[in-house]
A and B are shown apart, each in its own frame.
Chain A
Amino acid sequence: MTAAGRIALGAACAAILAFLFIPVAIILTYAFAASNIQSWPIAAFSLKWFPETWANGEVRAALGLSLEVAATATAIAVVLGTLAAMAVHRMRFFGREVVSFALVLPIALPGVLTGMALNSYFVFWGIDLSFWTIIIGHATFCLVIVYNNVIARLRRLPGSLVEASLDLGAGPWRSFRRITLPMIASAVGAGALLAFALSFDEVIVTTFTAGAQTTLPLWIFGAIRLGQRMPEVNVVVFAVIAITIIPVLLAQRLMGAAGRLHK
Chain B
Amino acid sequence: MRRKAERWATLAAALLLPALQGQAIAASPGMLQQIGPGEGTLNIVAWEGYAQDDWVKPFEQQTGCHVNRKYAGSSDEMVALMRSGGGNQYDLVSASGDATLRLIYGHNVQPINLALIPAWQHFIPQLKSANFNTVRGVHYGVSYEWGPNVLLWNTQKLQPAPDSWSVIYDKAHAGQITVPDNPIQIADAALYLASKQPDLGITDPYELTEKQMDAVVALLKQQRSLIKKYWALASDEIDLFKNGDVVVGAAWPYQTNTLKAAHVPVADTLPKEGVTGWADTWMLSAKAPHPNCAYRWINWVTTPKVQAQQALYFGETPANTLACKEMDALQAGSCSQYHADAPASYFDQIRFWKTPRTECGNGKDDCLDYSVWQRKWQEIKG
Contact = CB atoms under 8 A, between A and B. Distances in A.
Given A36-B262, A224-B235, A228-B258, A128 B49 contact: no
B294 to A, nearest CB: 13
B128 interface: no
Contacts of A129: 84-85, 89
B258 A227 contact: yes
Interface stretch (B185-193, B236-244, B364-372): B236-244
Contacts of B239: 37-38
Among A38, A222, A228: residue with most chain B CB under 10 A? A228
Given A212-B68, A222-B69, A226-B48, A128 B86 contact: yes
A37 B255 CA distance: 12
Given A40-B243, A212-B43, A228 B238 contact: yes
B234 interface: yes
B86 A126 contact: yes
A214 B85 contact: no
Contacts of A222: 69-71
A223 B262 CA distance: 17
A129 B239 CA distance: 33
Contacts of B88: 128
B225 interface: no
Contact of B89 (A35, A211, A226, A227): A211
B233 A225 contact: yes
Interface in A199-249: 211-212, 214, 222, 224-228
Contacts of A38: 239, 242-243
Contact of A119 (B52, B71, B84, B243): B84
A214 B238 contact: no
Interface in A31-82: 35-40
Nearest to A124: B86
B161 to A, nearest CB: 23
Contacts of B73: 225
A123 interface: yes
A147 B243 CA distance: 45
B49 to A, nearest CB: 7
Contact of A212 (B89, B238, B243): B89
A122 interface: yes
A123 B85 contact: yes
A228 B84 CA distance: 27
Contact of B262 (A37, A123, A126, A225): A37
A39 B242 contact: yes
A222 B233 CA distance: 11
Contacts of B52: 226-227
Among B90, B235, B243: residue with most chain A CB under 10 A? B235
A38 B70 CA distance: 23
A205 to B, nearest CB: 14
Interface in B222-251: 233-235, 238-239, 242-243
A129 B88 CA distance: 10
Contacts of A122: 85
Interface residues of A, number: 21
A39 B243 contact: yes
Nearest to B47: A225
Contacts of B49: 227
Main secondary structure of the interface of B (DSSP, over half): mixed
Given A37-B242, A39-B243, A212-B70, A228 B235 contact: yes
Contacts of B43: 212
B262 A226 contact: no
Nearest to A56: B53
Interface string B70-111: 110100000000001110111000000000000000000000
B243 A224 contact: no
Nearest to A122: B85
Contact of B234 (A40, A214, A225): A225
Contacts of A228: 235, 238, 258, 262
A122 to B, nearest CB: 7
Contacts of B242: 37-39
Contacts of A225: 48, 71, 73, 233-235
Nearest to A40: B243
Contacts of B86: 123, 126, 128
Contacts of A119: 84-85
Contacts of A37: 238-239, 242, 258, 262
A118 to B, nearest CB: 11
Contacts of B258: 37, 227-228
Contacts of B84: 119, 123, 129
Nearest to A213: B68
A228 B238 CA distance: 9
A228 to B, nearest CB: 6
B3 to A, nearest CB: 13
Interface in B251-274: 258, 262
B346 to A, nearest CB: 29
Among B48, B49, B85, B86: residue with most chain A CB under 10 A? B85
A38 B244 CA distance: 12
A228 B234 CA distance: 9
A212 B67 CA distance: 11
Contacts of A211: 85, 89
Interface in B43-58: 43, 48-49, 52
Contacts of A36: 262
Among B49, B69, B233: residue with most chain A CB under 10 A? B69
Nearest to B86: A123
Given A122-B85, A226-B69, 9 more contacts: A36-B262, A37-B258, A119-B85, A129-B84, A129-B85, A212-B43, A212-B70, A222-B69, A224-B235
10 contacts: A38-B242, A40-B243, A119-B85, A211-B89, A212-B70, A212-B89, A222-B71, A224-B233, A227-B258, A228-B238
Nearest 6 CB-CB pairings of A with B = A129-B85, A212-B43, A225-B48, A225-B71, A211-B89, A37-B262
